[in-house]
Amino acid sequence: NAGVTQTPKFRVLKTGQSMTLLCAQDMNHEYMYWYRQDPGMGLRLIHYSVGEGTTAKGEVPDGYNVSRLKKQNFLLGLESAAPSQTSVYFCASSPGDLGQENTGELFFGEGSRLTVL
């Protein structure tokens, strides 16, 4: 069971270049999230999705776009990369509505380390 898979794991970009991070989950989860993690700071939510075809902005959405065309995939795009976007990006998923069997626990991918020069 692969869980949540992110590609690529590492990437170096030059300022102004574009790229897409792919997240895939095989747990049939409704909710998917993109976070960034920077030293000395908590995880910050970039965008999230509560189901196929839906997306919403999180805490730090500027400079990023997302798409959820298929339930199992959640793509994060950087149209014009900036050095401030150097970070480790984590994708996560959760089953969806809270209930007796769902506490809202997130399942994370292994992370994608992005450096923008």
Partner 1 sequence: GQNIDQPTEMTATEGAIVQINCTYQTSGFNGLFWYQQHAGEAPTFLSYNVLDGLEEKGRFSSFLSRSKGYSYLLLKELQMKDSASYLCAVMDSNYQLIWGAGTKLIIKP
Q: How far is the CB of 41 from partner 1 (least distance, A)?
A: 6
Q: Is the CB of residue 114 less than 8 Å from the CB of residue 89? A: yes
How far is 100 from 94, CA to CA, in rounded Å?
Answer: 14
Q: Which is nearer to partner 1, 5 or 17 (CB)?
A: 5
| Residue list 86-115, contact with partner 1 (CB under 8 A) | 90, 98, 103-111
CA distance 109 to 99: 23
Q: How far apart (Å, rounded) are the C-alpha atoms in residues 95 and 25?
A: 11
Task: Give the nearest distance from C-beta 104 to partner 1 in angstroms.
Answer: 6
Site for partner 1 in 21-40 (CB under 8 A): 40
Sign of CA pseudo-dihedral 8, 13, 15, 17:
negative
Which residue, 4 or 13, is less far from partner 1 as judged by CB?
4
* Of positions 10, 14, 42, 99, contacts partner 1 by CB under 8 A: 42
The only residue of 11, 19, 22, 45 in contact with partner 1, by rule CB under 8 A: 45
**Helix, strand, coil distribution of the chain in percent, nearest 5:** 5, 50, 50
Residues near partner 1 (CB under 8 A) are 40-45, 58, 90, 98, 103-111
